[in-house]
Every structure is written in C-alpha cells, then in structure tokens.
Amino acid sequence: MTIAARRGAVRARNHTANAPRYTWPVAMHCCYPHITLRKSMRLTTIASFILLLGACSAQPPRTTAPTAASVSVEVQEIRHPEGETAAWWFRAGAAKAAAHGAMDGRAKNVIIFIGDGMSLTTVAAARIFEGQRLGGPGENHSLAWETFPATGLIRTYNTDMQTPDSAGTMSAIATGAKTRAGVLSIGQSAARGDCVGARAAPLLTLWELASVSDMATGVVTTTGVTHATPGATFSHSAERNWENDAELSEQARAEGCIDIARQLVQTAYVRGFDVLLGGGRQHFFPAAQRDPEYDDQAGAREDGLDLVKQWQHRHPGGVYVWNRTQFEAAPADAPLLGLFEPGHMQYEYDRPNDRAGEPSLAEMTRAAITRLSRNRNGYVLLVEGGRIDHAHHGGNAYRALVDTLALSDAVRVADQTTSAEDTLILITADHSHTLNFVGYPMRGNPILGKVRGGSGEQLSGELATDGIDLPYTTLGYANGPGYTGASNSQPAGPKTYPHTGRDYTPAKGRPDLSDVDTEAPNYMQEAMFPTSSETHGGDDVGIWARGPGSAAVRGSVEQNAIFHLIVQATPRLRERLCAAKLCNPTGVPVELPKPVEFAPAAMSPAAP
C-alpha cells in the first residue's frame, strides 16, 4: 500500500484551569501560544501586544484542536497509595477530563486504537522504518495518527505495580478507575486470584455502558479475543488467564467465577458485542471438537459448551467465520464473529503464510466500521494491535515495527471512512517496553541496521564502535531473550527469533556484528541482561486524537482519565450515567457506577 505522508498537525496546548484569563485573538496565539494573560494584568499591557498582530497576520493558519471549555470538579485529597479506591480514581479521572473540556464533545461514535506495548520509542522507530521503506530518510515521515491535531502523555502504572501489565492498564481505560495488575475490570479492593473479592467489585465498562445505551459495540484484535486487552471490555475477572473454564482454579469454580470467553458471550448487558474479530477460538469450543484449520488441535473447554452457537442464538442472523474466504463473503448487514486462530493471530510479517488465510488489521477495522455504523445511535469500537507487545517480549524489533505499521494502516482506514464531525478517534498504548534507540546514527541510517555515524556527536560516516571497538545497532533491549550469552537452546552470540532462553551462561564480551545482517526479520536485538521474555517498561506512552472532544486530549494524564474523556465527549454515554443519578450539578458523571443498576443479572463475574 502506498502511504502518503501528511503534515501540518499541531499539538493542542495544555492550558491550565486554575485562574481566569482573557481570550487571545487567534492571530496573537500564532506567535505567542505559550502566553496566558490573567486578570491581574493591566489592560495597557494587553494593548502593548496589539502591535504584534501585524507580524502574526502574515503567518498561515495552523491545524489545531479547538479550545475546550474547562469544568471544575472537586476531588478529595488523599494519601497515596493507601487512600486510593475505585470511587476515588473514578472521580479524579472525571475531574481531569472535565478540566480539559471534554464536556464540549458531541461525538456519536468512538474508536479506540490500542497499540499493545507501543512505546514512544516504538512509534519513532516505526515511523522511520516505514519512511525508509517508501524510499525516504524516514525521520520526517509520519504514521497515520501523527497528523492528528491533539496529543498528550499517559501515565500507565497499576495500583500495585510501577511497571504495569495489560490487564490492569486496559481495565483503567475501560472502566475509568485504575486497578491491580493481572485483573480485568474489577476494583483494586480484590486481590489477583480472589474470586470472592472480584465478584464483589465489578466495574462497569465503556462497552457495557454503550450496549445499555443502545449503541453498537465491537472489538477487533490480533491477539486472542479473550486476551487481556479485549477481555476487559465485557468481562470481569480476578485472573486474566482464566480464558476458558479449564483454566479456572478449583477454588474459583467452587466460588462461582466464570471464565472470560463465557462472559464475553453470555454478558447480561443487552446483547454484548455486535462485532468480535481476532484469534482464540479454542476458548469457545469443547475439547471434543477438532479445530477446522489444524488437525492436531481441538477446543479447550471442559464444560462442553459451544459458545459460538450461543452467540449466534443471541444474535439471530449473526455470522461466524474462521478464515479469510468466509470473512470476505460475510454479509455487511449482520453481526459478525470471526475467530481466525486457535490462539493469537499471525504477526503481520507472517500473515501471508497462514494456511487458511487471515484478514489484516486494517481489513478487520473496515469490516467492523461498516457493520457498526448501521446503528443510528452510534457505536464504540476497540481496535488492538496486540502483537506489537508479543514481538517485543520475544526480543524481535522487526515484527514489532511491522505490526505497528499494520496498526497505522488500520487507523488510516478509520480516518478515511469516518467523519471528524461525529467520530472521536483515539490512539494510545497500554504500556511501554524496554526498546532503546541509541548511538548517533546519521540521517537516513537504516533503523534496524548498525549505527553509521559515531559514538559521540562528531560523525564520521563509518560504522560506529563501542569501547571495545565493536559495531552496534541503533535498536536494542534493556533485557530479554536477545542476551548474547549461551542458553539452553542457542549458542553464544546473536540470537535468532524465536528464542525463549533459559539456563544462560554469562556472555564473554559482545559479539562482532560486522558480518551479521541485523536488518533480517529474525534477527534479535541484543539485550543487556538475560530474561526468557523481555519486560514491559514503566515510562509514559503517547495518546493522539481527532474528532469531537479531541481538544481535551493534552498534557500528562492518568490512564483512567481516557474513559472519562470518551464518556464526557459522547452525549449518549454521558446522559445514560446522568439518568442513573451519577452526575454532579454541572452534568459531569462523577460517581462510580454500580453494574447491578445497569444489568441486574450482571451483579458479579459469575452471572450466567
């Protein structure tokens, strides 16, 4: 696909809301966007700036998110972390969104893109990678979302972890309250694995709220649909790994907890998802049923349930597909369930070799929008590039970058097939990774290649070398299976993907990469110290947005505020919470919803 680079987007400014201010003329903002005038300033001081207007008037207009009006919400001061509760997180998130002007939004539709593990380093590297694929130097290129007018930073920590996991982070986005690592859409009061605690602390999710508001809902992912990110949309679990009933602990079974796949299908929130596309079909079929694509595999369920048939019963006319041919033939006016692998879908690089054929993330996104947009009340759609994370865990930057480009293609589809007048699109990541961007490579240096330039700021144009005169790559990992010491499965030296190392021996210096093709798809970047799987990072991730309410996306915010940005910017969602008397006098939803009041049969994760 030919990708046109688009330019001219400018970040929305993070205006503070703690003092009244004058509104600057647009022309004056173009020269001095950082200046805020307070009432205490004399009018004669303001007048002195009018002389600057002539110089500003010659500048071309910039594409920016419109300024949003701030609404104040009081939040109780607490001592962290012991004073934190789900209710406190919910109100604090609502206050931040309202202060940023999210209440000005008038979105009908919402599309949330999650690049799982898509750190800012990943975004920068993928931008250069695609730009170089298109024949340019790469650094000046833009991914699809980098032209959007609003951007900010997201703090990702869980309530119990400095470096988070995907379950806790997606739960924050889905429910408006931060929570623990390893759990799905339950409050932090329940410990991981505590079934009884989880049943007492479910949190209403954005997708459940949309469903009871008569909006369409959809989930698209390249992971299994019961994985952490998609699983947080319509399920509530004390353990992210309870994807089917066979994975439930005996205690969890006895205490009435239900697996994630069953919750996704049997949700009491109206009909649940209208479109669900991804992998993970083993979790939906009984163990006695053979997989249609792989003769040596079967369903994983021990309870004998066929959850696909149950979903079709709840969605008369709904279509189930498991390969590309069926996907392409599916009617556009019917609900769609697509499960394209027993586990996760293929990496984008490997997808052309799939035996039954899989649709791309962009194709699945287009299919979801086509179907969901038939609902006159609007829709809420999640699209996850889930395998960016898996490639990073595997120490393979090539696949991580290719999957990031696949996410960019999907965002481009959404941008082109929806209107910024009624559709809010947000792109973010759930957490970071330890991918590093190092050295002083020259402009246009292959992003997966060895550094040519220097190890200092004086560039030579030759291969840069370290302190022991060995070349090194621009990209590397702080930890992971790319460690160059010998392991139980590969000898000392550069590692080849896939490699899950154990029983490492200490590396004796660094390998000589002079004759190694570090741009090869299976090359694994060096890791500073060995782990069988590379870890997440705890640094902030980016968020980008366009459409109604996007002006509220700016500055540095907690991850749970994303939920509130969306709800406040979408009148139908906001009004449903206000109808339940959860709003303050200014109409901001500030009280933590009780799921039982929205779907009585969904009082706990054990609801049938």
Residue 130's CATH number: 3.40.720.10
Tell me, yes or no, whether 492 and 524 share the same domain. yes
Tell me, yes or no, whether 499 and 546 share the same domain. no
Last residue of a domain, one of 512, 534, 556: 534
Residue 36 in domain: no
Answer whether 120's CB lies under 8 Å from 432's CB.
yes
Rounded to an integer, what distance in angstroms lies between the CA atom of residue 8 and that of residue 3? 16
Q: Which of 364, 477, 369, 357 is nearest to 418 (CA)?
A: 369
Over residues 477-487, mean pLDDT: 98
Over residues 500-506, mean pLDDT: 94
pLDDT of residue 171: 98
Q: 48 — phi, psi (to 5°)? A: -65, -20
Q: Which of 170, 181, 229, 177 is nearest to 202 (CA)?
A: 177
302-330 residue pLDDT tens: 999 999 999 999 999 999 999 999 999 99
Q: Which of 120, 179, 91 is nearest to 388 (CA)?
A: 120
In this structure, which amino acid lies at residue 418? T
Rounded to an integer, what distance in angstroms lies between the CA atom of residue 414 and that of residue 244? 32
Rounded to an integer, what distance in angstroms lies between the CA atom of residue 580 and that of residue 570? 16
Residue 556 a catalytic site member = no
Looking at the DSSP bridge assignments, the partners of residue 423 are 109
**What contacts 451, CB < 8 A, 6 or more positions away?**
438, 439, 440, 441, 445, 463, 464, 471, 472, 473, 474
Tell me, yes or no, whether 347 and 272 share the same domain. yes
Q: Which of 517, 444, 435, 527 is nearest to 475 (CA)?
A: 435
Residue 444 in domain: yes
| Strands of 181-293, DSSP E | 216-224, 275-279
- Options 166, 171, 235, 237, the catalytic residue: 166
What is the span of the domain harbouring residue 452?
Answer: 435-534
Rounded to an integer, what distance in angstroms lies between the CA atom of residue 272 and that of residue 605? 15
Answer whether 316's CB lies under 8 Å from 261's CB.
no
More confidently predicted of 567 and 27: 567
Task: Please determine, for residue 116, whether its predicted confidence score (pLDDT) is greater than 70.
Answer: yes
Is 567 exposed, middle or buried (CB count within 10 Å of its CB: 0-12, 13-18, 19+)? buried
Answer whether 542's CB lies under 8 Å from 152's CB.
yes
Residue with tokens 């994630």: 260
Tell me, yes or no, whether 499 and 547 share the same domain. no
Answer whether 27's CB lies under 8 Å from 61's CB.
no
Tell me, yes or no, whether 416 and 542 share the same domain. yes
Residue 143 in domain: no
Reduced to 3 states (helix: H, G, I; strand: E, B; else coil), residue 120 is helix
Domain count, the chain: 2
Over residues 563-570, mean pLDDT: 98
Q: Which structure tokens are listed for 9?
A: 């987007």
Tell me, yes or no, whether 124 and 232 share the same domain. yes
In this structure, which amino acid lies at residue 97? A
Residue 553 in domain: yes
pLDDT of residue 590: 98
Tell me, yes or no, whether 526 and 554 share the same domain. no
Tell me, yes or no, whether 421 and 491 share the same domain. no
**527-530 sheet: strands from edge to edge:** 435-437, 475-480, 527-530
Looking at the DSSP bridge assignments, the partners of residue 336 are 275, 319
Neighbours of 374 (CB within 10 A): 12
Tell me, yes or no, whether 386 and 292 share the same domain. yes
Q: How confident is the model at residue 29 (pLDDT cuts 50, 70, 90)?
A: very low
pLDDT of residue 603: 34
pLDDT of residue 461: 81
Last residue of a domain, one of 534, 563, 593: 534
For the chain, what is the mean pLDDT?
90
Task: Please determine, for residue 472, whether its predicted confidence score (pLDDT) is greater than 60.
Answer: yes
Residue 349 in domain: yes
Over residues 328-356, mean pLDDT: 98
**What contacts 260, CB < 8 A, 6 or more positions away?**
184, 226, 231, 235, 237, 240, 242, 243, 244, 283
Neighbours of 61 (CB within 10 A): 9
Q: 462 — phi, psi (to 5°)? A: -95, 170
Residue 154 in domain: no
- Alpha carbon 219 to its chain centroid, in Å, reads 12
Relative orientation angle of helices 166-175 and 561-569, to the nearest 10 degrees: 30
Q: How confident is the model at residue 65 (pLDDT cuts 50, 70, 90)?
A: low
Tell me, yes or no, whether 349 and 444 share the same domain. no
Q: How confident is the model at residue 66 (pLDDT cuts 50, 70, 90)?
A: low
Q: Strand 475-480 relative to strand 379-385: parallel, antiparallel, unpaired?
A: unpaired
Task: Please determine, for residue 606, whether its predicted confidence score (pLDDT) is greater than 70.
Answer: no
Tell me, yes or no, whether 398 and 376 share the same domain. yes
Last residue of a domain, one of 507, 534, 561: 534
Residue 547 in domain: yes
Tell me, yes or no, whether 296 and 444 share the same domain. no
Residue 11 in domain: no
Task: Please determine, for residue 38, whether its predicted confidence score (pLDDT) is greater than 90.
Answer: no
